């Protein structure tokens, strides 16, 4: 698999990364540990060098899983993790990006991940109780101390990105981006392009919907975040089939799958965008990774743009409360 650089930084990663959250958190019961380790190690075999986790995924168990799975490949892969939440009694309990907590998370994540330095350390969500300059300054100190290599933000606004970047250059912004989640094209993507910051696109397959395997009859497991998301009600799933039909048309033309076309579309938007689809299945992993070899033509991209402009996506991606507090 080819590699991409995240913005102007020297951080080079595989064209497609692997989001590991769903192996432990967010989509119902956690996967069986030995099988999840096999998925992660198969990803390495297929050329993936970029893996995403966070302390709140579990909490803690996802970092432990990733650390164990990738220990044999130390120095060959890039691991991104995140700080920014209180965790009490095994559950997320509000935001916390105070310097002492950032340092605490860094030390504990290093142990769980079995590494000496965190490759990419994101603020998971903006904490309005702590000036972003203070957050960036704390990560700057961790970089000077050799505990962190690169600083990242997640789901941050343009002004926050600029303020943070002025203190410690931001290597990557992680935000949701896909054919049906495009609000960042208005202000965020132009801002990070100007500043030379890469975009790590989470949920590039719409939490599975754009892969074409979910319809209005699909039942999600207990604990699956999609049970409460407005975009995944039965009515919304029926209405949003129009976008799947569009992907299917192009998939048939290219002898590909809808998921591969959806990922190829993300990759085609900018050379510094890296999607991190998640999966717990090796055959899905293989399918996703093959999207790195599909290059949509300018005409195809224009066709998709024109057709999708007439498709109204039904349902917001999160509830209003979750937009403010979610760690997903």
Catalytic residues: 57
Give the CA dihedral 33, 38, 40, 41, nearest 10 degrees: 140
- The token duo for 30 is 């956690």
Alpha carbon 108 to its chain's center: 22
Q: Which residues pair with 79 in a beta bridge?
A: 51
DSSP label of 8: T
Distance CA 29, CA 23 (A): 9
Please state the φ and ψ torsions of residue 153, each to the nearest 5 degrees.
Answer: -125, 155
- Beta carbons of 206 and 178 less than 8 angstroms apart: yes
Choose among 130, 255, 154, 163: nearest CA to 203: 154
């Amino acid at each position: 698999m080819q590699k991409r650089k995240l913005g102007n930084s020297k951080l080079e990663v595989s064209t497609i990364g692997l989001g590991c959250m769903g192996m432990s958190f967010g989509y119902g019961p956690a996967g069986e540990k030995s099988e999840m380790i096999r998925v992660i190690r198969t990803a390495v075999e297929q050329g993936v060098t970029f893996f995403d986790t966070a302390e709140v995924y579990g909490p803690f168990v996802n970092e432990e899983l990733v650390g164990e799975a990738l220990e044999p490949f130390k120095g060959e892969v890039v691991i991104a993790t995140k700080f920014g939440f209180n965790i009490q009694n095994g559950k997320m309990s509000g935001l916390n990006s105070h310097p002492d907590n950032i340092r605490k998370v860094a030390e504990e994540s290093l142990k769980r991940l079995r590494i000496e330095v965190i490759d990419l350390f994101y603020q998971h969500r903006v904490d309005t109780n702590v000036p972003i300059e203070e957050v960036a300054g704390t990560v700057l100190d961790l970089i000077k101390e050799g505990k962190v290599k690169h600083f990242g933000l997640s789901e941050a606004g343009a002004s926050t990105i600029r303020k943070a970047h002025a203190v410690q250059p931001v290597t990557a912004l992680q935000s949701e981006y896909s054919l049906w989640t495009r609000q960042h094209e208005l202000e965020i993507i132009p801002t990070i392009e100007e500043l030379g910051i890469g975009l790590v696109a989470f949920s590039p397959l719409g939490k599975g919907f754009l892969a074409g395997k979910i319809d209005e009859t699909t039942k999600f497991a207990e604990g699956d975040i999609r049970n409460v998301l407005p975009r995944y009600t039965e009515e919304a799933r029926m209405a949003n089939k129009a976008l799947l039909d569009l992907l299917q048309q192009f998939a048939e033309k290219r002898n590909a799958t809808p998921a591969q076309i959806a990922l190829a579309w993300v990759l085609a938007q900018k050379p510094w965008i890296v999607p991190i689809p998640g999966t717990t299945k090796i055959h899905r992993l293989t399918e996703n990774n093959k999207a790195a070899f599909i290059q949509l033509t300018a005409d195809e991209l224009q066709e998709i743009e024109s057709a999708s402009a007439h498709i109204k996506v039904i349902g917001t991606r999160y509830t209003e409360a979750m937009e403010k507090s979610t760690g997903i």
